[in-house]
């Protein structure tokens, strides 16, 4: 295996101002110990850190860490080659590798996105347990670990991200790595019996045992994981709040991910959005075109709202930005067809020559424009059927004008609902309820909108991306200093310990 250092010029910093602000904040907020160790980030996909601010979501968070502190970011560069590439491409703080066509098919589209993604989002019906997927999933994790291992230093903190890489720590440990290794799951952890439907669930649980810290988005996810470990694979909670899993002790906690609020603070109303009628009010939805995002239900609820409230016809539009994703997985083709048919039928039924009720955009929109679109929208309609966190909910709140804010309607099944209770919380499966809540949101008076927005903004600011990063790394540092008990164990673990003590 070779490591190719392109040895290019130092990376240009197009967002120098943002990077500097982020760096100042990081340095000001992170614990003393964390300043000294290098962070090795491992994620399925590594984005060009110069372009990440345009990408949104977790890419922004990881690129920020990679840019602003001693770090190495390792993963797939997005290239697919016919033959296995053993070469690691090194460019500054980024180290990437290519995948083969077979890896991409069986590890990425196959096991990661046709087994783990649907099952973790409670869609067992969509899971494709095909022969060969799991073996390739393990094989790619093993190869990635072998490619990273020569680049590691003894005192690195390793932070692995997301469901593509569950077995990564096991593979690194096999190669002798003793470093603290943390894992963060960006998607929800399913109820324990759902997880047990995965034929290889025990191997996956064994993989989890190789981590020192497992971070999840919400307390509900922690409860699901702890219940699974106890019931499914004989995990035992020990008195210091960790879980004994096979021969290792693992900490589990919730670390709700957030956004960089400053990115949205300067949003302005987007004049280019107004339709033929200037008085039109906008509802905004921004979701990758994924079956977990509840888009058909959202369109149906909007249709129902127009049906039940004729006075709003001609007065409101639903703008749905739904960029394509994983188009070669069958379930994604189905959802696209379903959505296009629904948009067509609602527009055909209610539309006028000068008013189209649903603006459906199946393309990506520039990130700098998103903030302005959020600010110009009276309602943010965020109604996934299941979601780890949902950053769009937070972005919508952060972009509002505090003196005249819009209303966030949020699914009870998004992780964000756990701490954003001042949103109008809906059950996205209940079309009639969602339709009625859209009406309530339009009728909500200014004082109530301001009061809800203020409370939501407080949460979004408190749980921002820097706080997320800081709290996870601080806990991983405690693992290194062998002081894992010096933190408040999560609620389900405390409850289990209290019950044990009582008996």
Q: Which residues are catalytic?
A: 186, 387
Give the count of residues interacting with ligand GDG (CB under 6 A).
22
Residue closer to ligand GDG by CB (options 304, 319) is: 319
Residue closer to ligand GDG by CB (options 257, 466) is: 257
6 three-class SS: coil
Six-digit token string for 232: 């499914």
364 binds ligand GDG (CB under 6 A): yes
Residues 153-212 that bind ligand GDG (CB under 6 A): 186-187
Q: Within 13 Å of residue 331, how many CA atoms lie on the same side as its CB?
A: 17
367 binds ligand GDG (CB under 6 A): yes
222 vs 224: CA distance, rounded Å: 5
Residue closer to ligand GDG by CB (options 294, 388) is: 388
243 vs 220: CA distance, rounded Å: 17
- H/E segment holding residue 214: strand 213-216
The set of residues, in sequence order, having a beta carbon less than 8 Å from that of 291 and lying 6+ positions away, is: 123, 126, 331, 332, 334, 335, 385
Q: Shortest gap between Cβ of 185 and ligand GDG (angstroms)?
A: 9
Q: Shortest gap between Cβ of 415 and ligand GDG (angstroms)?
A: 6
Stretch that binds ligand GDG, among 55-63, 93-101, 401-409, 423-431 (CB under 6 A): 55-63
Q: Shortest gap between Cβ of 187 and ligand GDG (angstroms)?
A: 5
The set of residues, in sequence order, having a beta carbon less than 8 Å from that of 68 and lying 6+ positions away, is: 19, 22, 23, 26
- Which of 69, 288, 300, 378 contacts ligand GDG by CB under 6 A? 288
- What angle separates helix 465-480 from helix 16-29, to the nearest 10 degrees? 40
Residues 378-397 that bind ligand GDG (CB under 6 A): 387-392, 395
Stretch that binds ligand GDG, among 125-133, 225-233, 361-369, 494-502 (CB under 6 A): 361-369
Residue closer to ligand GDG by CB (options 286, 301) is: 286
321 binds ligand GDG (CB under 6 A): yes
Q: Checking phi first, is residue 314 left (phi over 0); if not, alpha (psi -120 to 50) or beta? A: left
- Which of 95, 144, 286, 343 contacts ligand GDG by CB under 6 A? 286
285 binds ligand GDG (CB under 6 A): no
Q: Shortest gap between Cβ of 386 and ligand GDG (angstroms)?
A: 9
Residue closer to ligand GDG by CB (options 103, 287) is: 287
441 vs 201: CA distance, rounded Å: 43
Query: How many Cβ atoms are within 10 Å of 442's Cβ, its own excluded?
Result: 17
Cβ–Cβ under 8 Å, residues 43 and 66: no
Q: Shortest gap between Cβ of 373 and ligand GDG (angstroms)?
A: 10
Q: Shortest gap between Cβ of 291 and ligand GDG (angstroms)?
A: 11
261-288 burial, b at 16+ Cβ within 10 Å, e below that, comes to bebbeebeebeebeeeeeebebbbbbbb
Nearest-5° Cα angle at 250, 197 to 70: 110
Q: Which residue reads 């034929």 in tokens?
A: 199
Summarize as ranges the residues that interact with ligand GDG (CB under 6 A): 54, 56-58, 186-187, 257, 286, 288, 321, 323, 364-365, 367, 370, 387-392, 395
């Amino acid at each position: 295996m070779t490591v190719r250092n392109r040895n290019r010029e130092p990376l240009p910093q197009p967002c120098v101002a943002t990077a500097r602000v982020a760096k100042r904040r990081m340095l000001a907020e992170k614990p003393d110990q964390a300043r000294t160790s290098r962070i090795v980030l491992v994620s399925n996909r590594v984005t060009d850190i110069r372009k990440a601010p345009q990408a949104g979501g977790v890419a922004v968070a990881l690129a920020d860490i990679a840019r602003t502190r001693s770090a190495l970011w390792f993963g797939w560069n997005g290239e697919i080659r016919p033959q296995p590439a053993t070469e690691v491409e090194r460019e500054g703080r980024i180290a990437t590798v290519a995948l083969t066509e077979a890896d991409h098919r069986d590890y990425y589209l196959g096991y990661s996105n046709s087994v783990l993604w649907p099952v973790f989002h409670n869609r067992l019906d969509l899971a494709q347990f095909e022969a060969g997927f799991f073996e390739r999933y393990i094989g790619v994790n093993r190869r990635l670990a072998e490619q990273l291992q020569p680049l590691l230093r003894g005192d690195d903190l390793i932070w692995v991200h997301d469901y593509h890489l569950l077995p990564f720590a096991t593979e690194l440990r096999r190669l002798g790595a003793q470093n603290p290794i943390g894992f963060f799951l960006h998607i929800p952890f399913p109820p324990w019996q759902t997880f047990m439907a995965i034929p290889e669930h025990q191997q996956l649980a064994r993989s989890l045992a190789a981590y020192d810290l497992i971070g999840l988005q919400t307390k509900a996810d922690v409860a699901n994981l702890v219940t699974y470990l106890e019931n499914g694979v004989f995990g035992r909670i020990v008195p210091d709040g960790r879980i004994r899993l096979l021969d290792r002790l693992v900490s589990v906690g919730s670390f709700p991910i957030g956004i960089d609020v400053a990115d949205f603070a300067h949003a302005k109303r987007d004049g280019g959005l107004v339709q033929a009628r200037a008085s039109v009010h906008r509802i905004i939805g921004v979701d990758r075109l994924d079956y977990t995002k509840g888009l058909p239900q959202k369109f149906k609820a909007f249709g129902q709202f127009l049906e039940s409230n004729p006075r709003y016809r001609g007065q409101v539009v639903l703008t749905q930005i739904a960029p394509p994703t994983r188009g070669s997985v069958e379930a994604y083709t189905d959802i696209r067809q379903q959505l296009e048919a629904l948009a067509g039928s609602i527009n055909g039924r209610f539309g006028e020559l000068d008013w189209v009720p649903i603006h459906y955009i199946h393309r990506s929109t520039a990130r700098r424009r998103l903030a302005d679109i959020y600010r110009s929208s009276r309602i943010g309609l965020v109604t996934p059927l299941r979601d780890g966190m949902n950053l769009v909910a937070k972005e919508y709140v952060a972009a509002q004008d505090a003196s005249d804010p819009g209303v966030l309607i949020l699914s009870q099944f998004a992780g964000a609902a756990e701490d954003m209770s001042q949103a109008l919380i809906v059950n996205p499966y209940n079309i009639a309820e969602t339709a009625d809540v859209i009406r309530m949101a339009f009728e909500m008076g200014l004082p109530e909108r301001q009061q809800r927005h203020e409370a939501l903004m407080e949460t979004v600011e408190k749980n921002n991306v820097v706080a997320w990063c800081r709290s996870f790394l601080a806990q991983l540092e405690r693992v290194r200093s062998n002081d894992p008990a010096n933190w408040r164990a999560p609620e389900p673990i405390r409850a289990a310990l209290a019950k044990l003590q009582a008996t």
